[in-house]
Amino acid sequence: MDAEKLREEVEKRRKAGWIDVWMAFETLAVKKEVAESSLQDHIEKMSKVKDMLICEKVYKDCIKTDKIPFKLKEKLPQGTEAWSQVAEVRAFCKDLFTLVNIVMVYGPSAIEIHSPKDYKMKTDEMQNITNLVAGIMHDFASAGVGGLVISGERK
């Protein structure tokens, strides 16, 4: 989409009350090329989400880092290099359901909501969001990595 068309689409969504959001994504890999390509692929997949328009993508330089999470570091051979890259994305989401879904599926590291200042939500949107969260909780519980376990009363 050319710059003028993008500006028109952004303005149309802003007037319609879509949520203007900034998100940061970070990747970590043992090869620089993998870090770069996986982050680009991830953002590209996200850009296809219905009811969302990405209006800006900024990829920071991919850098060598020694800041490897402990659980990952203990599985890697000593002295393994790691590469990290950050992408900043500015987007418009039609509603809070779309934004929550994107956060849960694509896992940004940080989020800032720029507008609208106030947001009014219908009951069906609240229901869709709470069912989405409940579904994820059940998925976690089924995988054994969290969720709530309900048991009968002990006597």
Angle between helices 123-143 and 96-106 (to 10 degrees): 20
Residues in the chain with pLDDT values less than 70? 70-71, 73, 145-155
pTM score, two decimals? Answer: 0.82
Indicate whether 121 belongs to any domain.
no
Indicate whether 32 belongs to any domain.
yes
Residues 120-128: contacts with CB under 8 Å, at least 24 apart:
121/95, 121/96, 125/95, 125/96, 125/97, 128/97
Tens digits of residue pLDDT in 3-46: 999 999 999 999 999 999 999 999 988 889 999 999 999 999 99
Count up the domains in the chain and report the number.
1
> Domain of 72?
3-116
The CATH number for 99's domain is 3.30.70
